[in-house]
Every structure is written in C-alpha cells, then in structure tokens.
C-alpha cells in the first residue's frame, strides 16, 4: 500500500512540475490568521495546490508565529512558494499583490459558546483586516471564515465601502463546511459515498440559519420526517458537535480548513477562466430579504458571475426559510452593520 501511495504522490508532483504555467495566471493567496487552529491546516492544504487550481505564492500572516509556519511549509516539495509575515508592520507585505485573501483569524468557540458569543472580539479583527485589504489589495477576492459569519460578512462589507473598495462580486462568506457536513451525514445515512453526494445548503452559517435542502439531494433519496428532522438538526449543529467532543480543546478546525481549501481552489480555477465552477457561499443577494445570503453561485474571472438561487423548496423547507432562517439571519446582519457604524 505504501508503495502505491508513493507512486501516486510522485505522479502528482511530476504532473505539477510539467504543467505549462502559461495556461493560467500567476496566483497569490494570503491567509490572515495563518498560525491559528484553522489557518495552519488551511495553509498546508493550499501549499499542496496543483493545476488547475495552482497557487504560485502563499502568504501566511498572523500576529505571531506565521514565519515559523511558513518555514515549516516551505520544506514541502510542492511548487507553491510560501512566505510568513508577523504583526501589523508586515501586513502590507502579506497583502500586496494578493488575488485572494482568506480570513480565518479570530478566537475559536469553546463549550457552551455560540458563534455569536465571539462577536465583539472577532468583529474588531475582521474590521481591521478588511480595512487593510482595502488599502493594500483593493481588487482581491476576500473570503470570510471568522465567526459569526452571519455578522462578519456585513462588517467586512461596511469596512470596504468606507474605503471605496467594496465590490459585491468579490466578498464571500465561506459556508462550504455546512455543505461538506451535509454530504457526509447524508452519505452515512443512505449508504452513499459522500464524494458522490450533492446536498444544497443555503441561508447563513449558524444554527437555524443553516438550511439543508434535503429535497434536492443527489442521488435522489427519500427521508422520513424523523430522518429529515434529525439530519437537518445535525447539519445545523455540526460545529457544536465538534466543540463538545473536543471538550474545550478547540472547535472545528480541520474540517473547516478542508472546506475552506475546497472553496479557495474553486475560486482560483474560476479566476483563471475555468467555466462552470459553482459553490454555495454567502454573497450580497436579492434571493430573499436578507442583504447577504448563501446560495448556489457561479464563479468567474471577476468573482461572482451569477447567483443561481436556491431552486424549488419543499413545503417544510419553505416554512423553515420564512420562519427561522430569514428572521434570524436578518438580525445577525443588522447586528454587524450596526456594530461597525457605532465604532
């Protein structure tokens, strides 16, 4: 088994090195919070990039220890170049020339905490970092991971607007982990390979604002009411499941890194002109009354190419959307907006 893995790895490296760089644009990605629980595994996955999602330069930034993470990553024999940047004085270097900025910076959840409990600390972090993006890489796509995403996306938008750098096609809330969990949990329940499952997840990225559209599952599957309710609840509270299992030692860092890497790779491919790249992500939206809403999005060379919406919902899903998702998500968005303008 080991020899087959080694052969596969060697083949991947050879294919990467033989790939003609002329077929895609040079791509720089900055990870802000790169020495943290999500940032380190995310940076590792991005370092392993290869065509057609090749990242040429990876900037790892944090308040401390980013240079150590970058030094460690730089020893991996993949083509992506890595540089580390520590502290406010080096943030400009991390961001200058970035095509994509991914922001996992912030404090993690602990048992008993909701994502909203992180609000004050993470709100300030996101506001500061997106302000820096407006100054040093105003044309970059920005992917927000820092919780509560339902509020921090609005904060990021207002910070960018203040500095005349807001482009609704280039600001994303990363909700990919909800989709990844839905694929996993439905696959387990129905005996499908999770990699072959598609389950749309729309709305927000916290609790009841997360709405898995099980009626649209591919391959087609039927669910009893109790199965539907249990799966919906587990997908909505998957983060809490991990927080409690780690018993104070952290939150969902590894699965979040995996999901964020998949989103980033999709964005790289789309920015390079590859067609038909879609992701569920939170963007400025007119799908519902919510200013920002996660739905199926076609990505393109400028970021968002088209909001593909949410499709046809079951009666159960329609009720959830109207009575739970929209009211709570609107409240969280307003909280972010009001916080920024009260500073």
What are 123's two structure tokens? 């709100």
* Exposed/middle/buried for residue 169 (C-beta within 10 Å: 0-12, 13-18, 19+): middle
Cβ atoms 174, 291 nearer than 8 A = no
The CA distance from 138 to 134, in Å, is 4
The radius of gyration of the chain from alpha carbons, rounded to an integer in Å, stands at 19
Q: Which residue has the tokens 């992506």?
A: 80
Whether 195 contacts 303, CB under 8 Å: no
Residues β-bridged to residue 142: 101, 171
Q: How far is CA 16 from CA 12, 13, 57, 260, in A?
A: 6, 5, 15, 22
- Catalytic annotation on 341? no
Tokens read off for 213 = 């559209």
Catalytic residue among 75, 163, 205, 341: 205
Q: Where are the alpha helices (DSSP H) in the chain?
A: 2-18, 39-47, 66-73, 91-95, 119-136, 149-162, 176-190, 225-236, 238-246, 254-271, 315-320, 326-341
Q: What CA–CA distance (Å, rounded) separates 293 from 11? A: 41
**Catalytic residue set:** 205
């Amino acid at each position: 088994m080991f020899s087959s893995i080694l052969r596969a790895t060697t083949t991947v490296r050879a294919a990467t090195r033989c790939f003609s760089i002329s077929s895609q644009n040079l791509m720089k990605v900055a990870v802000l919070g790169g020495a943290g629980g999500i940032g380190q595994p995310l940076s590792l996955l991005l370092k392993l990039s290869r065509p057609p999602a090749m990242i040429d330069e990876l900037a790892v930034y944090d308040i401390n220890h980013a240079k150590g993470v970058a030094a460690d990553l730089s020893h991996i024999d993949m083509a992506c170049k890595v540089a580390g940047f520590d502290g406010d004085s080096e943030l400009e270097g991390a961001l200058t020339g970035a095509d994509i900025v991914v922001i996992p910076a912030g404090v993690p959840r602990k048992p008993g905490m909701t994502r909203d409990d992180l609000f004050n600390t993470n709100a300030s972090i996101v506001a500061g970092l997106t302000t820096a993006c407006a100054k040093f890489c105003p044309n970059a796509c920005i992917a927000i991971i820092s919780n509560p995403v339902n509020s921090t996306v609005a904060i990021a938008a207002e910070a960018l607007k203040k500095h005349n750098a807001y482009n609704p096609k280039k600001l994303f809330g990363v909700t990919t982990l909800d989709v990844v969990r839905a694929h996993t949990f439905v696959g387990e329940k129905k005996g499908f390979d999770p990699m072959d499952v598609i389950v749309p997840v729309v709305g927000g990225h916290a609790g009841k604002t997360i709405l898995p559209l099980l009626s649209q599952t591919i391959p087609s599957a039927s669910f009893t009411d109790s199965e539907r309710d249990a799966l919906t609840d587990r997908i909505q509270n998957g983060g809490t499941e991990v927080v409690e299992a780690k018993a104070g030692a952290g939150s969902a860092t590894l699965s979040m890194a995996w999901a964020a890497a998949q989103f980033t790779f999709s964005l790289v491919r789309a920015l390079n002109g590859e067609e038909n790249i879609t992701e569920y992500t939170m963007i400025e939206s007119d799908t519902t009354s919510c200013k920002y809403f996660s739905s199926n999005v076609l990505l393109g060379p400028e970021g968002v190419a088209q909001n593909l919406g949410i499709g046809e919902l079951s009666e159960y899903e329609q009720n959830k959307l109207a009575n739970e998702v929209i009211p709570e998500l609107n409240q969280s968005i307003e909280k972010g907006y009001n916080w920024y303008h009260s500073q």
